[in-house]
Amino acid sequence: MKNLITIGLVALMMVNISCEDKWFQEVDPLKDVAEDRELKGRDGLPFLVKGVLVKQMHVHAGLASSSDLVSDQIEFSQNVQNATFTSYDQLDGRGRVDVADDGSTYDDNFSCVGAYEGVGQFRKHADLLVETVSVLEVSEATSDDTSAYYTGYLCGGMARAWYATYFALTDDGEPGSPIDDSPMIYDGDMFADARSKYSAALPYANDAQTRLLHSLMGKTYLLEENYTDAASHLEQGMTVGDAPYQTLYAPEYTNDYYQQMGVGRTQGIVAYRFLDYITADPLEANRLPMTEAPTTGDQRHVQTKYDEGSDPVDVMSWQENHLMLAEVSLRGASVTVSALDAVNAVRTPYGLSALDNVDLDVLYDERDKELWCTGNRASDQTRWNRWHTTSNIATDMEETIYGNWQYLSISLFEKNNNPNL
């Protein structure tokens, strides 16, 4: 009897296996996955464009928030619940995990490695998009060709600008990066390469996109401290009312400001001076939203600028363009808007009172507040030469920073495998 039962069960399993095999064979092929060789025609261009923008999503918020941790804008403290990542501790200490660490393993920091690889993939996909559309028959071009050229050149320029803005080979070296096993391409040449991509995108851009491209080109000159050429492009850049160019996120793939530096997980916390800004003028809470984090010791806060995981992150806005116009004006370049008018235009939507005067010190603080949590602070500290030497400033967890990094490190993998470094 036992044998009969066993035989019956085996037979039933064989029927099940047969049915499952048939069921799997009859599933329709995937609609959102394709091999690269299948995407060389015009029909594949929309898919490739989306792929580049997805790569932008994968890297941007993590890159920007990691840079903000290196800066004095976001801090890490283990007296905050859920703050456990030693990689973030090391970023906040610019190479430090403990007193004995001289920053020598900074290039193997998980956040540095992920950001660096992400920018590399973003650049590669953008360049491949341009290569793909460039070999198609011009006489048969459609709006998909225009979109592909614009997106490929725009994103290729952004990736190169991010290399020049956020990465360095050593803690005392110039920013930049190699590309495809090249020697180091330092920021001057890398920014020039970025501008060549932005310029190549201009023939495919509408009016609003053209203004965006000029804002991005102006920013590269600003970061090089070439204020005259920056002014020329910023004057043609984004204007009041222009929608920001943003990296989009979704509930399925959340932005890192929310996920790690906000209410998603309270690892990165607000520097104390942002509370001082609000104390000095309560209306600043309109552009500096935050909430208390679960803390032992001094109460700490996390930003709620991104209070949903799907909140987009600005790449460029008319507000940033206005603040750049103010800066180049204060640094001696000729522009048609005064620094005072430019800054007050940015303050007005929050109900903030108009300022009576603006100098570089005032502008430094205005940029700190307006461009909060967008990845701009570290480059501002470099340009103004105002680097901090302690973390968790004015709290019971304040401590000395032992590392000297002002950028994220090019990854250890790149250093070990690029024969030209």
Task: Say if CB 26 and CB 212 are below 8 A apart.
Answer: no
Q: Which domains does the chain have, with CATH numbers?
A: 37-417 (1.25.40.390)
Task: Say if CB 414 and CB 178 are below 8 A apart.
Answer: yes
Mean pLDDT throughout 231-258? 97
Given a cut of 80, whether residue 295 has pLDDT beyond it is yes
Mean pLDDT throughout 311-336? 98
pLDDT band at 3 (very low <50, low <70, confident <90, very high): very low
- Give the closest residue to 54 by CA, choosing from 248, 212, 198: 248
Q: Looking at residue 9, what is its pLDDT?
A: 42
Answer with the residue of higher pLDDT: 92 or 200.
Answer: 200
Least trusted range by pLDDT, from 74-83, 206-215, 397-406: 397-406
Angstrom CA distances, 293 to 12, 88, 262, 288, stand at: 57, 17, 9, 15
Q: In whole angstroms, what is the distance from residue 72 CA to residue 75 CA?
A: 7
- Helix (H) / strand (E) element for 214: namely helix 207-223
Given a cut of 60, whether residue 12 has pLDDT beyond it is no
Which residue is listed with tokens 């002002």?
Answer: 406
pLDDT digits (tens, 9 = 90+) for 27-51: 455 445 555 556 678 999 999 999 9
**What is the Rg, in whole angstroms, of the alpha carbon atoms belonging to the chain?**
25
Q: In whole angstroms, what is the distance from residue 245 CA to residue 315 CA?
A: 6
Answer with the residue of higher pLDDT: 203 or 77.
Answer: 203
Eight-class DSSP state of 295: B
Q: In whole angstroms, what is the distance from residue 220 CA to residue 188 CA?
A: 9
DSSP of 145-189: HHHHHHHHHHHHHHHHHHHHHHEESSTTSPBEE-STTPSPEEHHH
Please classify residue 297 by burial: count the beta carbons closer than 10 Å to its beta carbon, then call 0-12 exposed, 13-18 middle and 19+ buried: exposed
Mean pLDDT throughout 369-391? 96
Q: In whole angstroms, what is the distance from residue 398 CA to residue 410 CA?
A: 28
Q: In whole angstroms, what is the distance from residue 109 CA to residue 412 CA?
A: 9
Residue 47 backbone class (left: φ over 0; alpha: ψ -120 to 50; beta: rest):
alpha
pLDDT band at 101 (very low <50, low <70, confident <90, very high): low
Q: Both tokens of residue 397?
A: 């967890």
pLDDT digits (tens, 9 = 90+) for 393-411: 888 888 888 778 899 999 9
Given a cut of 90, whether residue 8 has pLDDT beyond it is no
Mean pLDDT throughout 10-24? 39
Mean pLDDT throughout 301-320? 97
Please classify residue 96 by burial: count the beta carbons closer than 10 Å to its beta carbon, then call 0-12 exposed, 13-18 middle and 19+ buried: buried
pLDDT digits (tens, 9 = 90+) for 148-196: 999 999 999 999 999 999 999 998 889 999 999 999 999 999 999 999 9
Which residue is listed with tokens 């109900």?
Answer: 351
Q: Looking at residue 107, what is its pLDDT?
A: 86
3-state secondary structure of 303: strand
pLDDT band at 98 (very low <50, low <70, confident <90, very high): low
Least trusted range by pLDDT, from 24-38, 89-103, 244-258: 24-38
The whole-chain average pLDDT of the chain stands at 90
Express as a percent the part of the chain with pLDDT over 70. 89
Mean pLDDT throughout 320-349? 98
Q: Both tokens of residue 188?
A: 């001057």
Q: Looking at residue 93, what is its pLDDT?
A: 86
Task: Say if CB 358 and CB 326 are below 8 A apart.
Answer: yes
Express as a percent the part of the chain with pLDDT over 90. 77
Q: What letter represents residue 134's amino acid?
A: S
Bridge-based pairing of strands 74-76 and 268-270 is antiparallel
Q: In whole angstroms, what is the distance from residue 421 CA to residue 418 CA?
A: 6
Q: Looking at residue 168, what is its pLDDT?
A: 96
Answer with the residue of higher pLDDT: 19 or 112.
Answer: 112
- DSSP lists the bridge partners of residue 290 as 303
- Give the closest residue to 290 by CA, choosing from 301, 279, 298: 301
Q: Both tokens of residue 326?
A: 């103010």
3-state secondary structure of 245: strand
Least trusted range by pLDDT, from 18-22, 115-119, 263-267, 326-330: 18-22
Please classify residue 275 by burial: count the beta carbons closer than 10 Å to its beta carbon, then call 0-12 exposed, 13-18 middle and 19+ buried: middle
DSSP of 131-150: HHHHTS-GGG--HHHHHHHH
Given a cut of 60, whether residue 17 has pLDDT beyond it is no
- Report CA torsion sign: 278, 279, 283, 285: positive
Mean pLDDT throughout 112-129? 97
Q: In whole angstroms, what is the distance from residue 44 CA to residue 193 CA?
A: 27
Q: Looking at residue 380, what is its pLDDT?
A: 98
pLDDT band at 13 (very low <50, low <70, confident <90, very high): very low
